[in-house]
Structure 1
Amino acid sequence: MESQDHHEAPLAEYQVTSYLRANPQFFEHHTSLLAELYLPSPHGQGTISLAERQQLAQRDRIRVMDAKLAQLMKYGEENDAIGEKVHRLSLGLLATEQVAVLVSLLEHSLREDFQVPYVSLRLWAQPRDENNGGLPAFAKVDQEVQRWAQGLATPYCGNHPGMPLQGWFGAEARPAAFALMALKAESVFGVLALASDDEKRFYPDMGTLYLKRIGELVSAALLRHIVV
Structure 2
Amino acid sequence: MNTSPKNWRPYEELSDEVIAHYLQQHPEFFTHHESLLAIMKIPHITGSAISLIERQLAVLREENQQLQRQLDKLVRIAQENEQLNWRIQRLIAVLVSATGIDEFFDILYTTIANEFNTQAVAVRWFELPSGQLAPRPEFKEYDAQVFALFENLLANSTPFCGQLTTERLEYLFPNNNVVSAVLLPLGKPKPQGVLAMGSDDISRFHASMGTELLQYMADLISHLLKMWLRLTSTL
TM range (shorter): 0.7 to 0.9
1:20 match:
23
2:80 match:
78
Q: How does 1:159-174 map to 2 (within 5 A)?
A: 159-160=164-165, 162-163=167-168, 165-166=170-171, 169=173, 172-174=175-177
Equivalents in 2 of 1:66, 1:9: separation in Å? 45
Length-normalised TM-score, structure 2? 0.73
Equivalents in 2 of 1:81, 1:89: separation in Å? 12
2:101 match:
99
2:139 match:
138
Q: What fraction of aligned residue pairs are identical, expressed as a percent?
A: 27
Displacement after TM superposition at 1:35 (Å): 3.1
Which ranges of structure 1 fall in alignment gaps of 5 or more residues? 1-7
Where 1:96 maps in the other structure, the secondary structure is: coil
Pick from 196, 214, 226: which aligns with 1:193? Answer: 196
What amino acid does structure 2 have at the position aligned with 1:155? P
Which ranges of structure 2 fall in alignment gaps of 5 or more residues? 1-10
Superposition RMSD in Å: 3.3
2:5 match:
none
2:61 match:
59
What amino acid does structure 2 have at the position aligned with 1:160? T
Equivalents in 2 of 1:86, 1:135: separation in Å? 25
Length-normalised TM-score, structure 1? 0.75
CA contact (8 A) 1:122 1:141 kept: no
Displacement after TM superposition at 1:107 (Å): 0.7
1:155 match:
159
Indicate how the Cα distance of structure 1 residues 164 and 10 shifts in structure 2: closer, same or farther if over 3 A, else same: farther
Equivalents in 1 of 2:142, 2:170: separation in Å? 10
Displacement after TM superposition at 1:33 (Å): 2.6
Equivalents in 1 of 2:163, 2:212: separation in Å? 16
Count of residue pairs the alignment pairs up: 216
Where 2:138 maps in the other structure, the secondary structure is: helix
